[in-house]
């Protein structure tokens, strides 16, 4: 069983088979096997939180040698839990893309998605009986609780947009979204108004549901906008095939308003959903 920080521990399909295969080739003492399992949990957790991430970066984070971290990455890759993404090197011209590790679709779907098929069927019946507006109303009610819980904490962060974005990331992580907030400062000749925070979520507990009903991503984005106090843009989502959910939060604009947030007007059903803008 693999477990990761900020996520529900779940059994991974194929893990037992992989162990059985390894058992036929070598005998590993119990304490050594347990230590390897704990180390792989740490590697998996780091990939979930920081992916796409290189083997060298993982080694630096966790204090492992390159050979040790690659051994665990190979094990997780054979189990189908992580996969390699080829990412162009910044400023490296036409060189070979760098290898970066991310959670695979199988790894994402293993992290606590119980009862989603039942929920999807219920929403399909709701949509058939009452129309798309009823599904949006359901999504709004679901995220209204998140907004009520997060608002006091984010308001304590003050009017600075970047501080509010970091507070939002901390709140999301406590709810198992494995979130992080990275500041991106615009440097000359770009205007300071282009500075931003990228809010990333490494896990979505309703990923499969959101893939069938994109309105969940739209409503969540609207809640983020009201919480931080500025218009935000969803760049990628796990539900649409991204390796993380990424939200662009501009920080070079006006400061956030006070604690009072007006309710967002329902979006037109004819609008193109904002989550469809994928990786920049």
The CATH code of the domain that includes 65 is: 1.10.10.10
104 and 155 co-located in one domain: no
pLDDT of residue 164: 96
145 and 72 co-located in one domain: no
Report whether 44 contacts 4 (CB < 8 A): yes
pLDDT of residue 108: 66
76 and 170 co-located in one domain: no
Which pLDDT tens digit goes with each residue over 208-259?
A: 788 889 999 999 999 999 999 999 999 999 888 888 899 999 997 655 454 4
- By C-alpha distance, which of 169, 178, 47, 179 is closest to 103? 47
In a domain, 130, yes or no: no
Identify the band that residue 115 occupies on the pLDDT scale cut at 50, 70 and 90.
low
79 and 144 co-located in one domain: no
In a domain, 22, yes or no: no
103 and 147 co-located in one domain: no
Distance CA 255, CA 258 (A): 9
Residues in the chain: 280
Q: Which residues contact 15 (CB under 8 A, 6 or more apart)?
A: 1, 2, 79
Q: What is the pTM of this model?
A: 0.56
143 and 241 co-located in one domain: yes
Decide if pLDDT at 120 tops 90.
no
In a domain, 191, yes or no: yes
Which pLDDT tens digit goes with each residue over 124-134?
A: 888 888 888 99
Distance CA 71, CA 59 (A): 11
pLDDT of residue 267: 40
In a domain, 107, yes or no: yes
In a domain, 230, yes or no: yes
More confident residue, 212 or 35: 212
Q: Is the dihedral angle over the CA atoms 26, 32, 37, 39 positive or is it negative?
A: negative
Tell me what the mean pLDDT of segment 77-105 comes to: 69
pLDDT of residue 96: 62
- By C-alpha distance, which of 71, 46, 39, 74 is closest to 60? 46
Helix/strand/coil (H/E/C) assignment for every residue in the chain: CECCCCCCCECCCCHHHHHHHHHHHCCCCHHHHHHHHHHHHHHHHHHHHHCCECHHHHHHHHCCCHHHHHHHHHHHHHCCCEEEEEECCCCCCCCCCEEEEEECHHHHHCCCCCCHHHHHHHHHHHHHHHCHHHHHHHHHHHHHHHHHHHHHHHHHCCCCHHHHHHHHHHHHHHCCCCEEEEEECCCCCCCHHHCEEEEEECCCCCHHHHHHCCHHHHHHHHHHHHHHCCCCEEEECHHHCCCCEEEEEECCCCCCCCCCCCCCCCCCCCCCCHHHCCCC
In a domain, 105, yes or no: yes
150 and 234 co-located in one domain: yes
Which pLDDT tens digit goes with each residue over 168-202?
A: 999 998 887 888 999 988 777 877 778 899 999 98
Distance CA 196, CA 249 (A): 5
Distance CA 161, CA 183 (A): 11
Tell me what the mean pLDDT of segment 27-41 comes to: 66
In a domain, 21, yes or no: no
Report whether 24 contacts 30 (CB < 8 A): no
In a domain, 260, yes or no: no
Last residue of a domain, one of 62, 77, 111: 111
139 and 83 co-located in one domain: no
163 and 60 co-located in one domain: no
Distance CA 138, CA 269 (A): 15
Distance CA 150, CA 167 (A): 9
- Residue 63's domain comprises 35-88+97-111
Decide if pLDDT at 54 tops 60.
yes
* CA 269-273-276 angle, 5° bins: 155
In the predicted model, what is the mean pLDDT of the chain? 75
Tell me what the mean pLDDT of segment 263-271 comes to: 39
Tell me what the mean pLDDT of segment 96-109 comes to: 72
Decide if pLDDT at 155 tops 60.
yes
The number of distinct structural domains making up the chain is: 2
Identify the band that residue 151 occupies on the pLDDT scale cut at 50, 70 and 90.
very high
Least confident residue range of 75-79, 172-176, 185-189, 266-270: 266-270
48 and 139 co-located in one domain: no
Least confident residue range of 109-113, 219-223, 226-230, 273-277: 273-277
Decide if pLDDT at 85 tops 70.
yes
150 and 245 co-located in one domain: yes
147 and 246 co-located in one domain: yes
pLDDT of residue 215: 93
């Amino acid at each position: 069983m693999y477990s990761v920080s900020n996520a529900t521990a779940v059994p991974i399909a194929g893990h037992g088979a992989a162990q059985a295969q390894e058992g036929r080739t070598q005998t590993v003492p119990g304490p050594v096997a347990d230590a390897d399992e704990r180390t792989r949990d740490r590697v998996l957790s780091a990939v979930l939180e920081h992916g796409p991430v290189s083997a060298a970066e993982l080694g630096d984070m966790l204090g492992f040698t390159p050979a040790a971290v690659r051994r665990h990455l190979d094990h997780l890759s054979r189990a189908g839990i992580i996969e390699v993404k080829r990412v162009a090197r910044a400023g490296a011209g036409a060189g070979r893309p760098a290898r970066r590790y991310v959670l695979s679709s199988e790894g994402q779907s293993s992290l606590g998605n119980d009862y989603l098929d039942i929920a999807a069927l219920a929403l399909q019946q709701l949509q058939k009986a009452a129309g798309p507006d009823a599904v949006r109303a359901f999504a709004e009610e679901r995220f209204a609780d998140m907004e009520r819980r997060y608002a006091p904490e984010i308001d304590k962060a003050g009017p600075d947009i970047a501080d509010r974005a970091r507070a939002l990331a901390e709140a999301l992580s406590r709810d198992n979204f494995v979130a992080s907030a990275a500041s991106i400062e615009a440097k000359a000749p770009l205007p300071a108004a282009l500075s931003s925070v990228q809010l990333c979520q490494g896990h979505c507990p309703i990923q499969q549901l959101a893939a069938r009903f994109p309105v969940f991503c739209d409503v969540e984005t609207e809640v983020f906008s009201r919480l931080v106090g500025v218009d935000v843009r969803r760049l990628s989502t796990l539900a649409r095939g991204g390796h993380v959910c990424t939200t662009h939060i501009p920080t070079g604009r006006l400061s956030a308003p006070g604690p009072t947030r007006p309710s967002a007007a329902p979006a037109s059903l004819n609008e193109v959903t904002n989550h469809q803008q994928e990786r920049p």
